[in-house]
A and B are shown apart, each in its own frame.
Chain A
Amino acid sequence: MNHPRENNRQNAVTDSIFDHDHALPAPESPGDIPAELLRKTPLNLPNASELDVLRHYTRLSQKNFSIDTQFYPLGSCTMKYNPRIAHAMASLPGFARLHPETPAPAMQGLLQVLWELQEWLAAATGMAAVSLTPAAGAQGELAGVAMIRAYHHARGDTARHKMLIPTAAHGTNPASAQMAGFEVIEIPNLPDGDLDMEALDAHLGPDVAGIMLTNPSTLGVFERRIAEIARHVHAAGGLLYYDGANLNAILGRVQPGQMGFDVMHLNLHKTFATPHGGGGPGAGAVAVQERLKPFLPLPTVTKGESGALRWMTAEDAPRSIGQLSAHGGNIGVLLRAHAYIRRLGRVGVSRVSAYAALNANYLLKELQKLGYQAAFPERRASHEFILSVSDLQQATGIRALDVAKRLLDFGIHAPTIYFPQLVPECLLIEPTETESQATLDRFIAVMAQIREEALAHPELLREAPHHLPVGRLDEALAARKLDVAAALS
C-alpha cells in the first residue's frame, strides 16, 4: 500500500491513525447495482501501511493497565488471571471457523463442549438447568427477571409487577428490572451489612414478583439470614434472583441453589477467568431451578435419544422467554470458561473461594494495621471488603478518588471507588485467588506509603497520577465539547 502523505510524521504524543486519512478513488462501480443504491460520500478511512498500523496499535496497547501487566484489586470485578491455554483452545480453527448455521451433525465437537459447560455450571451452582446464551451479566439479569415474570404469568398470577432490590445492589439490577417492565422497590441494609428484614417484610405481598440479591452482598459480607429471606419471599409467592457477580466468594463452598435462589446468572468473565477485554465480551449464563426450566432463553444444547447433540428451538420449548441474540451467545467466551473449569476440575474449583477469601482477609487485616478503616470491622471479609477513607478526608481533604489515582502511579490498578454508595469515601478491594502473598505485600507497602503521603504531602495524591501518559482528564470538558469522532481532515 502507498503512503498517502509525503509529510506524514510519527508524532509520539498524539500518535494518530488519522494522520493517514485519505480517500482513494473507489473501484469501478458494479454495473448491476442501480447508482442510487451505491455509495455517494467517499469512504474516508485511513490507508496506512501494515507496519504503521502494527506499531500504532502496539504502542496504544502499552498505554493500558491489564492483568497481564498490573495487579487489579478491583472490587466486584474479579480480575483474576485469564489462563492463556483457554485463549489458545478457543482460537483453534475447528472452533473459530464454524459458521453458526452449520447443521448440528457437523458441529458435534462444539456442542459437546457447550453441553458439558451447561452441566458443570448447573453442578457448581446447585441449579437444575442452564442456558449459556446471555452475552453478559446484564443480559443474564434481563433473561432472569423475564423468566420470573413468565413463571408467574404461566400460573395466571399476573399482578406481580414489583421487583425488590437492595439499595446497595449493582446498577444493572434496577436497570434490568426496569427494562423487563418491572417497578423497582429498594430495600435498605442494616448497619451490620445484612438486609433489613423488617423493610423486606413490609414490601412483600401479592404484587411482588421477586427479589434480586447477591450473596455475599455488594458490601463484601455474607448475608447471614439468607435462608430466612428465602422463606419469607417464597411464602409471599415471590422468587429469588441471584446476581452471580460475587460468586467467586463462594464457588465450591456454598451453592445458590441451596441458599434458596430460583434463578441466577453467572459472570463467566469474572468467576470463570475469561478475559475482560477492555470492557467485554463477557458471558452471563443463567441457571434455574426445575420449575423455571421451561422458560430458559434459547438456544440451549440438548441431547437426543441417540446421544447426538443439537440446538433446542422454540418448537422444543414453546414457553421459553425467547432469543437474546441472533445466535447462541458469546461462544468463544464459553469455550474459554469450559477450558478453565476442565483444567481446575472438582478440587481446583473448590479451592477458588477459599484462596479468594484468604487473600481478601489477609489484605483487610494488614491494611487495618496501617490505620485504614474497615466499613464493617466486626465482619469477616468475603472475597472482597470495603475500606472508608472518611478519616483522611476529615484530616486532610483527601478523598477515595485521590487514593485510587495515586495507586496508579505505583503500577497498581485502582480499586472500585464510591460503590456501594452508602459507604462514604469507600474503596472496594478484591484481590482474587490468583495473586501471591508477595504481590499483596507490595500492595500493602504502597498503601502504607500513600497513607503517609496523604497526611504529610496531600498534594501528591490530589494531583495524581503523575507517571502515566495523561493526568486526570477534564470530564466536564469532554461532555461539553463532545468530540466523539475524529473530524475529516
Chain B
Amino acid sequence: MPYIPHDAEETAAMLAAVGVSSLDALFDEIPSSLQVHDMALPEGLSERVLRRELEGRAQSNTPLLCFAGGGAYAHHIPAIVWEIAARGEFYSAYTPYQPEASQGTLQVLYEYQSFITRLTGLEVSNASLYDGASGLAEACLMALRIQGSEKSILVPENLLPSWRKVLDTVLVMQQIRLIPVPYDARTGLLQLPAEAGDAAALIVPQINAFGLLERVDSLTDWAHAHGLLSIAVVNPLALAMLKAPGDWGEQGADIAVGEGQPMGIPLTGGGPYFGFLACRKAYVRQLPGRLVAKTLDARGREGYCLTLQAREQHIRRGKATSNICTNQGLMVTAATIHMATLGSHGLQETAHICHTRAQQLRECLQELPGVSFPHAGPFFHEWVLRLPVSAVKVRDALLGHGLLAGIPLQEWHMGEAGDLLVCATELLEESDLLTYRDALRSVLEAQ
C-alpha cells in the first residue's frame, strides 16, 4: 500500500487494541447512508510507471526560449537554491508555531524580512503573501485600515490587468471602490490624478504594464499632498538598480508590495510564487500575515519567534488584519537563499544584464521594416513592440520557431492589435537576440 506501512498482522493487532473487529467498524458513528464505497478515480500506478507518464506530459509542453514577462520572468536560478530549499528539513517542516523546533525556518524568515527591507528602503517586511497581485489587495486593505474612513483606492489603468482583476475580486467584496487613474496614451505613463476624492491610497506601479518606468517621485508627492498613502508596486530584481520605494518623493512610499518570483522561483506555469509586502514601522500593527522577530530565551540565548500574532486569524479570528494563514514559506526560503547567493553584487549585475539585453534587443529589431516602438521609455527589461500585423498571429507563428515572443497586449485588452510586450533577461545570450530578430523577420515577410 503506497505510503501506508501497516501489514495485515499489524492492522489486526491495532484493531484488537482499539476493540473493534474491522477498519469499517471505526466509522460506526457515521450513518451508513452517508458512506460510499467507490469513486471515479483511476487505478494507482507504481512510481516507475507514474514517472514515465508524467515525464511524457512534461515533455509534451513545447520548450520555448522565453521573451515574455508581464509579471513572471525567466531568470537563472543558481543550483544551490533549490538544492537547499528542497532539503526535507525545510520542505517538510510545519509552520513555525513551535519556535524551539523551528529556528531554521524562523531565522531564514528573519533574514528574508531583512533583505526585503533593504531592497525596498522600508522598515518592516512580513513573511510573505500568496503572490504579488493578492499582496497588492492586502496592501490596499491595509491602507484603508490605516486611513480609517476612506472607501476607495486610486488604481492606475496601466497596472498589470491580472492584478487589477484580483483587486476587483477581493476589494469589491467589501464595497471598496476602485477609481481608475488614466495614463497618457502617447507616453504610456500615468497622469497625475484629477482629484483624491475619498481614496485611502494611490497605487504607483514601478514598472507599469508597458514595461515603462513611472515618475514615482511626483506621484508619491501628489499622494502625500492630498492626504493619501502611496503604495509602491515593484519588481524586486529591478530594485537592485532603481530607486527604493523608501526614497520616493519627499517622504518615501508608505507601503511597497510586489511579486517575488524573480528571486529564485521557477515559472511553473504561474505558481507557486510569493508576494512581498513592506511598510513603515508605524504601520506594523496593520500588517497582514506572519512576522518574525529576534528575541532571547531564559538563558539569554538569541532566537527567533513569530510576533504580533494578535493581528492574525488564529488569535483574533473575525477581527484579524487578514484571513491569511498558510503563506508561501518554502518560496521565501528559496528566495532568501537566492538573494544570499547573489548578494547585492550579483543582483546588481543581473539587473544590469537584463537592462542591457532589453536595450540590445530593441536596437536589433529597429532594422526590421514596419516595426516600431510606441513608447520612448525609459524601461527596465521590458517594452512594447508595435508590429504591422496582429501580434497574436506573430506570437503564434513564432512558437514554431521555438520562441515565446512576448505577450500580445490585445489579450489584455490594452494597446493596439499589433502591440507585443517583449522582455529580455540575463538568460538570453546575444545570439538569442539575433535568433529572435531573424525569426521575426521571416514571420513578418510571410504575413
Contact = CB atoms under 8 A, between A and B. Distances in A.
B295 A474 contact: yes
A184 interface: yes
A170 B130 CA distance: 20
Contact of B4 (A79, A93, A180, A351): A351
Contact of A280 (B74, B216, B302, B327): B327
A367 to B, nearest CB: 12
Interface in B75-99: 78, 80, 82, 84, 86-96, 98-99
Given A85-B50, A279-B290, A280-B128, A434 B268 contact: no
Nearest to A414: B98
29 contacts: A23-B344, A27-B348, A38-B242, A57-B84, A63-B103, A63-B104, A66-B89, A91-B86, A103-B399, A124-B41, A139-B134, A171-B317, A177-B318, A255-B39, A276-B94, A278-B94, A280-B328, A322-B165, A345-B45, A346-B42, A361-B26, A365-B17, A408-B100, A433-B4, A473-B305, A478-B295, A483-B294, A484-B284, A486-B114
B121 to A, nearest CB: 6
B29 interface: yes
Interface string B341-374: 1111111110010011001000000000000000
Contact of B241 (A38, A53, A258): A38
> Which of B28, B38, B266, B345 gathers most chain A CB within 10 Å?
B345
B271 A380 contact: no
B436 interface: no
Nearest to A150: B173
Q: How extensive is the interface on chain B, given as a class?
A: 35 or more
B57 interface: yes
Contacts of B104: 60-64
A172 B313 contact: yes
A135 B131 contact: yes
A321 B64 CA distance: 33
B4 A26 contact: no
B426 interface: no
Nearest to B22: A354
A254 B340 contact: no
Interface stretch (B8-16, B146-154, B438-446): B8-16
A142 interface: yes
Interface string A102-115: 11011111101100
Interface in A81-106: 81-83, 85, 87-103, 105-106
Contact of B333 (A119, A178, A278): A278
Interface in B1-33: 1-6, 10-11, 13-15, 17-20, 23-24, 26-31, 33
B61 A110 contact: yes
Contacts of B259: 326
B211 interface: no
A198 interface: no
A174 to B, nearest CB: 4
A349 to B, nearest CB: 6
B184 interface: no
A147 to B, nearest CB: 11
Contacts of B110: 484-486
Given A77-B94, A222-B30, A434-B5, A281 B328 contact: yes
Nearest to A281: B272
Contacts of B242: 33, 37-39
Contact of B90 (A66, A126, A481): A66
A42 B281 CA distance: 21
Interface stretch (B65-73, B197-205, B221-229): B65-73
B162 A326 contact: yes
B194 interface: no
A405 B98 CA distance: 8
Interface in B292-336: 292-299, 301-305, 307-308, 312-320, 322-331, 333, 336
Nearest to A112: B57
A322 B168 CA distance: 8
Interface in B50-65: 50-51, 53-64
Contact of B91 (A56, A87, A180, A227): A87
Contacts of A39: 239-244
A171 B68 CA distance: 40
Given A135-B271, A413-B98, A343 B330 contact: no
B166 A65 contact: no
Contacts of B86: 87, 91
Contacts of B15: 358
Q: Give the 3 A-B CB pairs with smallest separation, nearest first.
A: A345-B44, A327-B270, A94-B58
A403 to B, nearest CB: 12
Contacts, number: 666
Contacts of B68: 99, 101-102
Interface string A334-371: 01000101111111111111110111011001100000
Given A43-B119, A45-B339, A141 B323 contact: yes
Interface residues of A, number: 201
Contact of A275 (B92, B323, B346): B92
B169 interface: yes
B288 to A, nearest CB: 10
Contacts of A179: 170, 173-174, 322-323
Given A325-B271, A348-B1, A351-B4, A226 B34 contact: yes
A221 B259 CA distance: 41
A123 B41 contact: yes
Interface in A279-326: 279-282, 284, 297, 314, 321-326
B39 A349 contact: yes
Contact of A13 (B58, B301, B317, B330): B301
Nearest to A358: B14
A250 B36 CA distance: 10
A468 B13 CA distance: 35
A54 interface: yes
B375 interface: no
Interface in B128-180: 128, 130-134, 160, 162-163, 165-166, 168-170, 173-175
A437 B42 CA distance: 29
B208 interface: no
Contact of B93 (A33, A65, A142, A146): A65
A433 B90 CA distance: 22
B93 A277 contact: yes
A120 to B, nearest CB: 6
A97 B6 CA distance: 39
Identify the interface centre among A26, A37, A96, A276: most chain B CB within 10 Å of its CB: A37
Interface stretch (A67-75, A203-211, A389-397): A67-75
A48 interface: yes
Q: Which one of B39, B51, B244, B259 has the highest number of Cβ atoms from chain A below 10 Å of its Cβ? A: B39
Most buried by A among B28, B59, B326: B326
A43 B108 contact: no
B378 interface: yes
B385 interface: no
B230 interface: no
Contacts of B331: 277, 280-281
A81 to B, nearest CB: 5
B268 A61 contact: no
